[in-house]
Amino acid sequence: MEKLKLISTEKEYIFEEGQPFQSSHASTVAVLPNGNVVVAWFAGMHEKSSDVAIWMSTRTGGTWSVPYKAADEEGIAHWNPVLFVQGDTLVLFYKVGHEITDWYTRVTYSEDDGRTWTEPRELVPGDVGGRGPVRNKPIALKDGTILAPSSIERHDPSAAGKQIWEAFVDISRDNGLTWTMSELVPMNIGEYVGTDHWFAKGLIQPTLWSSGGERVHMLLRSTEGVIYRSDSRDNGQTWCQAYPTSLPNNNSGIDVTLMDNGKLALIFNPVAGYATDSPRTPLVVRFSSDNGLTWGDEIVLENEPGEYSYPAIVSQDNQLYLTYTWKRDRIAFWKITLT
């Protein structure tokens, strides 16, 4: 791999202490056509609390706006916002529900860069469990098809108190009006050991990229101590059996972006572990020049004690824009410029 060359890095906190919420988590980031950066996250007293809403801020000229609510349905917890730029329209997906197994997915639209939003609607009417993007951003294929990385967390009927996690892709060919599920990503679930250490086993929260033609790929958060991967040869309709990579994963969120120069940039905690109480530090960005077969150069974002997790990353030209949870107190933002 050609040696990574950094031009500049900028690290900021989107907001300081003294906000009207105690905890913040699960950010998402997008770059608008005018160059401004928008970030959303969920925040409230604590995860699952009925006061948890979706909050936003916009970065204009290097300054972040005062955080404001983008979605707040009274009396129910909000989760996992996902921003997606679709032409001049900014799309916001998010989940509502007190338990993950009972999630509903909402979608809302903004024509003024996130200042105002349409009335939220169900993404897939009648769905329970959470269709559409579960945490990471959708991707648009050359023919306009939108692929949303998705997963469900369901009760295991054969083991009381346990769950099975399964991943898939939601596919839209009409600009997000309707969605069709891909086949579930095949897993050799009988060999998974996650429930020997924790309450769940399986794969969730995929992150996607396309390598041309009808080839699409995903990396997945797992309960098995490493990041898993699956590949599709038909634009995401079917997937090969998920297989382990050499990248450690402590059952924490990951995200990847395909840069204009063809390199992949992956943000993750390079720590092995089976349960979510494994340390979510350090947090790094690692790069691949061979479609994710090998990973080389690394930028360390955080390496002190604490939780640095649930990252999001997008790219434009030679720049990376990324956000993540900073100790559940704040949302951190980096802008990284490469040669």
User: Which residue's structure tokens are 């007293």?
Assistant: 45
The label of the residue with tokens 């509903």 reads: 104
Q: Which two tokens stand for residue 93?
A: 């997906």
Instruction: Please list, in sequence order, all residues whose beta carbon lies within 8 angstroms of the beta carbon of residue 115, skipping any fewer than 6 positions away.
Output: none
pLDDT value for 133: 98
Question: Residue 196 — left, alpha, or beta (φ > 0 → left; ψ -120 to 50 → alpha)?
Answer: alpha
DSSP assignments along 34-64, one per residue: TS-EEEEEEEESSTT-TT-EEEEEEEETTEE
Q: Where are the domains of the chain?
A: 6-338
143, 181 Cβ separation under 8 angstroms: no
**CATH number of 6-338: 3.60.15.10, 3.40.50.720, 2.120.10.10, 3.30.70.60?**
2.120.10.10
Residue 82, number of CB atoms within 10 A of its CB: 25
Q: What is the three-class DSSP state of 12?
A: strand
> Is 90 exceeded by the pLDDT of residue 215?
yes
Closest CA to 153 of 170, 168, 172, 138: 168
The size of the chain, in residues, is 339
Write out pLDDT tens, residues 122-180. Answer: 999 999 988 999 999 999 999 999 999 999 999 999 899 999 999 999 999 999 999 99
pLDDT value for 246: 97
One-letter-per-residue 3-state SS of 229-268: EEEECCCCCCCCCCEEEEEECCCCCCEEEECCCCCEEEEE
As beta bridge partners, residue 18 has: none
67: helix, strand or coil:
coil
pLDDT band for 2, please (50, 70, 90 cuts). Answer: low
Residue 217 to residue 196: CA distance in whole angstroms? 29
- Work out the percent of the chain whose per-residue pLDDT is above 70: 99
Mean pLDDT throughout 288-313? 96
d(CA 326, CA 320): 18
What is the DSSP code string of 188-206? Answer: -GGG--HHHHSSEEEEEEE
Average pLDDT of the chain to the nearest whole number? 95
Look up residue 151 and give its amino acid: S
Question: CA 13 → CA 38, 48, 311, distances in Å?
Answer: 13, 24, 14
- Distance (Å) of CA 210 to CA 84, 182, 282, 291, 324: 17, 16, 28, 9, 24
Checking 243-248 for CB contacts under 8 A at 24+ apart, the result is 245/219, 245/292, 246/295, 247/219, 247/286, 247/295, 248/272
Provide the whole-model pTM. Answer: 0.97
The confidence score (pLDDT) of residue 1 equals: 53
- pLDDT range class, residue 274, cuts 50, 70, 90: confident
> Does 273 score more than 70 pLDDT?
yes
Q: What is the pLDDT of residues 58-91, one digit of tens each?
A: 999 999 999 999 999 999 999 999 999 999 999 9
pLDDT tops 80 at residue 278: no
d(CA 120, CA 94): 10
